[in-house]
Structure 1
Amino acid sequence: MRGQPFLTQERRTWQNTSILSEQNFLKLKEIMYDHTFEAGSYLFWEGDPADKLFYIKQGQVKLTKTNAEGKEFTLHMFQDGDLVGELAGFTTLKHSYNALVTKDSIIGVIQTRDLEVLLWQHGDLAVEFIKWMGLMNRITETKVRDLMFYGKPGALCSTLIRLANTYGKQTEQGWLISHKVTHAELGDFIGATRESVNRMLRDLAKKGVIAQEQGHIIIKDIDYLRDICHCEHCPVTVCRI
């Protein structure tokens, strides 16, 4: 097996709220209230008012966007410790994507009006939230870059690396992606059909880059994937699914 994913096993809990200091995170927890969401429900739909943020205490949320033809694209997958939503910046804003709960979840809900009071009162918290917004923009930009500059094969290779970083477990065969993902779901990440993903995965398997076992993908040569997507070795908080 060549290469290593960017993350060690101890760093696989993402927690994009790690940008916040412990003191400021405690302030945030004081204004959130817990709500239970069942798998298949939505935190919000595209076009809903962006008047809340959501902190995932336990569970998983998928952000999607639908184009004019009805094709759904997967933008992000968030899990325990992640903060989800769009900060309006003291203006009226509507969500530009859907947030689907994919596992039964416990989520802390933060009203934007309560958050605004905290940001006015604590300048250091406001600065940290600007950093969080920058991080979320960077994650989206890198995914768009992979698709725009390196086409579907580059975007697929990048997605496989992100999956390995997020769900990978080291085995004798390579990096086993513990989260089962279908070819159709991979297609949703890169804007490709299931048939196109099937063909690209077969090509990678023939070259010994990946293998598939009982519905799981095993990455045997991660350096090959990095070469195809012209990996820029982004920070570990960015290189995620």
Structure 2
Amino acid sequence: MNEFSFSNRMHTLLDNNQQVKHIEKGRFLFQESTLASDLYYILKGKVEVSKVVPDGRELTMRICSENDLVGETVLFSQNPKYMMNAKMLEDGTVAVISKESLEGKIASDSHLAVDMMTWLSALNRKNHAKFRDMFLHGKKGAFYSTLIRLSNSYGTVVEGGKVINLPFTNQELANFCGTSREVINRLLAHLRKNNIVSIKKGHITILDVDYLKQEIDCENCPIEICTID
């Protein structure tokens, strides 16, 4: 996926009349089942996209960052409603883009249309890979693949491993996997006992990523597919 081409073209659309909002941490850009008329292009900050399943559990689908578009599922839909929740994980800035306006620009600009389809295709491949790991390997597979994706998105190589630079609570990790905090507690305890990961001040360092990959029969997807965003 040519992310530069997509983000560069999106920035071109953001003229001086574009509505820009500063949103505080913890506030929602939109919530599930509400009527949808806008999309949001992230200029600064991180946004969690999640869905609440019928039994009340929260499933975190992805974390979006600068130059990412949120709310894309409403495009070219009649009387759409948002299918997910989008919440700010930190103070940030977003550009509000009218659904109707963006649809018109996509229809009239073939280059934008191709870039949009390329971006959506890559996003679809990421989602398929996540659900593959979850369904084929259960809770363990979902968690191990989440650790790999987090390290690819937010990891820094250190002596002996790769540290994930964003701190997560066990409940937040559980939300990525659609499971409970207790399950994550047990899985993390197993990984720490066997020196697969270490944890310090909420930051996880992956010491043996090959073990995690072997446990989920990793297909060695391209790095741009194996991310959490």
Q: TM-score, normalised by structure 2?
A: 0.92
- Offset from partner CA, 1:197-234 (integer Å, 9 cap, x none): 11111111122211112221110011111111222222
Q: Residue 136 and residue 16 in structure 1: after superposition, are their counterparts in 2 closer, same or farther (change >3 A)?
A: farther
- CA-CA distance at 1:40 after TM superposition: 1.1
Instruction: Name 2:65's counterpart in structure 1.
Output: 79
Deviation of the 1:90 alpha carbon: 4.8
1:145-167 CA-partner distances (Å, limit 9, x unpaired): 11001111111110001111111
CA contact (8 A) 1:155 1:190 kept: yes
Name the SS of the counterpart of 1:150 in structure 2: helix
Q: Which of 214, 221, 226 in structure 2 is aligned with 1:234?
A: 221
User: Larger deviation: 203-212 or 36-45?
Assistant: 203-212
Please list, as runs of the form range in 1=range in 2, the aligned pairs for 1:128-139 lying within 5 A after superposition: 128-139=115-126
Match of 2:45, SS state, is strand
Letter of the structure 2 residue corresponding to residue 114 of structure 1: S
1:67 aligned to 38, 53, 63, which one? 53
Look up the match of 2:12: 27
1:116 aligned residue (98, 103, 111): 103
TM-align CA RMSD: 1.9
- 8 Å contact from structure 1 (residues 90, 116) kept in 2: no
Residue type of the alignment partner of 1:36: H
How far, CA to CA, are the matches of 1:128 and 1:169 in structure 2?
29
User: What is the CA distance between 1:137 and its match in structure 2?
Assistant: 1.7
Q: When the two structures are aligned, how many residues end up with a matched partner?
A: 226
Taking the TM superposition and a 5 Å limit, the aligned residue runs for 1:64-213 are: 64-86=50-72, 87-213=74-200
Q: SS at the partner of 2:83?
A: coil
Distance in 2 separating the partners of 1:195 and 1:62: 22
Structure 1 residues not aligned, in runs of 5+: 1-14
Whether contact under 8 Å (1:19, 1:131) holds in the other structure is no
> What TM-score results when the alignment is normalised by the length of structure 1?
0.87
Q: Aligned partner of 1:117: which letter?
A: G
Paired with 2:117 and 2:130, the residues of 1 have a C-alpha distance of 20
Shift of 1:85: 1.2
Listed one character per residue, the Cα deviations across residues 20-43 of structure 1 (whole Å, up to 9, x for unaligned) are 274x33432237421111111111
Segments ≥4 residues shifted beyond 6 Å = none
Classify 1:173/1:214 alpha carbon distance in 2 versus 1 (closer, same or farther; 3 Å). farther
Call closer, same or farther: CA 1:202–1:16 in 2, change over 3 Å.
Answer: farther
Contact 2:7 2:68 (8 Å CA) reproduced: no
Q: Compared with structure 1, are the counterparts of its residues 102 and 21 closer, same or farther at alpha carbon in structure 2 (3 Å cutoff)?
A: closer
- The answer to whether residue 36 in structure 2 is matched with residue 50 in structure 1 is yes
Q: Which runs of 5+ in 2 are unaligned?
A: none
Alpha-carbon distance between aligned partners in 2 of 1:165 and 1:16, rounded to the nearest angstrom: 18
